[in-house]
Amino acid sequence: MDLIGATLAWIAGFVGSGELWQRLGEHLTYTFGSVLIALVIAVPIGYLIGHTGKGRELAVGITGAARALPSFGLMLLLVSLVGVVQRPIAAYAAFVILAVPSILAGAYSGIQAIDKTTVDAARAIGMTEWQILWKVEAPLGLRLLVGGIRSATLQVVATVTLAAYINLGGLGYPLLQAIPLRRDEQAFGAAIIVIVLALLLDAAFGLIGVLLDRLIPTGAAPRRPRRPRAVPTRRARMVEAPTAS
């Protein structure tokens, strides 16, 4: 096929000219920068909700509402509100807003999923509430928290692709440039690069998950013997189900 050859040639040029690394750098800076900010905001709140059991309905509501929020519209809304100069800050704010719900859900559901007798045992041997949080709940809840961070990262990676529309670069830039110019090979090649990046990040989180499974005991309640396949709880499903991107 003609397109495949042309696409490979375009990708070779894109890598060769060094533009790939510049765009990848922009893309990853936005992605990890906003996920880190979201972690700082969402993890303490999620742990507070998970530890005290208060405000759970609020967290569920926020996560549900966030799914209906069109990420592209949110980004453009914040950018048009603050004006052209502050564009990167507005974009960061949008990415953080998109990343917070998944991480929040991961943080609190990780703690909620822990068998209550484990926490009570920790309390019974004289641990303070802080010790319970850091030595029992945080490690045992880490697996679900990482799941939440994974959803958040993938959603932000997808949304950063759209940031090229407001001239913020990233790997979406060659893609959006190609569509009106009808450069099929460029659109195709850029799409492949974006997809490979998303799949690599997904795989990296999958690897972290496997490592955590080896290192950390589950601490979750034993499965009921009656049902051969445990059905995820509503909360666990909520973390697993990614939001629109």
What is the footprint of other proteins within residues 139-158 (CB under 8 A)? 154, 157-158
- Name the one range near other proteins by CB under 8 A: 28-36, 104-112, 213-221, 229-237: 229-237
Q: Which of 34, 102, 109, 243 binds other proteins (CB under 8 A)?
A: 243
Smallest separation (angstroms) from other proteins to the CB of 94: 11
How long a stretch of residues is the chain? 245
Bridge partners for 114 per DSSP:
220
Q: Which of 9, 40, 81, 89 binds other proteins (CB under 8 A)?
A: 81
Residue 44 has φ and ψ, to the nearest 5°, of -60, -40
Given the complex with other proteins, which of 122 and 194 has the nearer CB atom? Answer: 194
Given the complex with other proteins, which of 79 and 104 has the nearer CB atom? Answer: 79
Given the complex with other proteins, which of 214 and 226 has the nearer CB atom? Answer: 226
Given the complex with other proteins, which of 116 and 234 has the nearer CB atom? Answer: 234
Range 152-178 burial, b when 16+ CB lie within 10 A, else e: bbbbbbbbbbbbbebebbbbbbbbbeb
Q: Which of 20, 28, 41, 69 binds other proteins (CB under 8 A)?
A: 69
What is the footprint of other proteins within residues 39-68 (CB under 8 A)? 65, 67-68
What is the footprint of other proteins within residues 107-126 (CB under 8 A)? none
Check binding of 96 to other proteins (CB under 8 A). no
Smallest separation (angstroms) from other proteins to the CB of 210: 14
Smallest separation (angstroms) from other proteins to the CB of 137: 26
Burial of 87 (0-12, 13-18, 19+ CB in 10 A): middle
- Alpha helices, DSSP H only, in 53-183? 56-68, 71-82, 87-112, 116-124, 129-131, 138-162, 172-181
Residue 207 is encoded by which pair of tokens? 């690897």
d(CA 213, CA 121): 22
The answer to whether residues 159 and 73 touch, using CB atoms and an 8 Å cutoff, is no
Check binding of 244 to other proteins (CB under 8 A). yes
The answer to whether residues 127 and 99 touch, using CB atoms and an 8 Å cutoff, is no
Check binding of 165 to other proteins (CB under 8 A). yes
Q: How many residues bind other proteins (CB under 8 A)?
A: 53
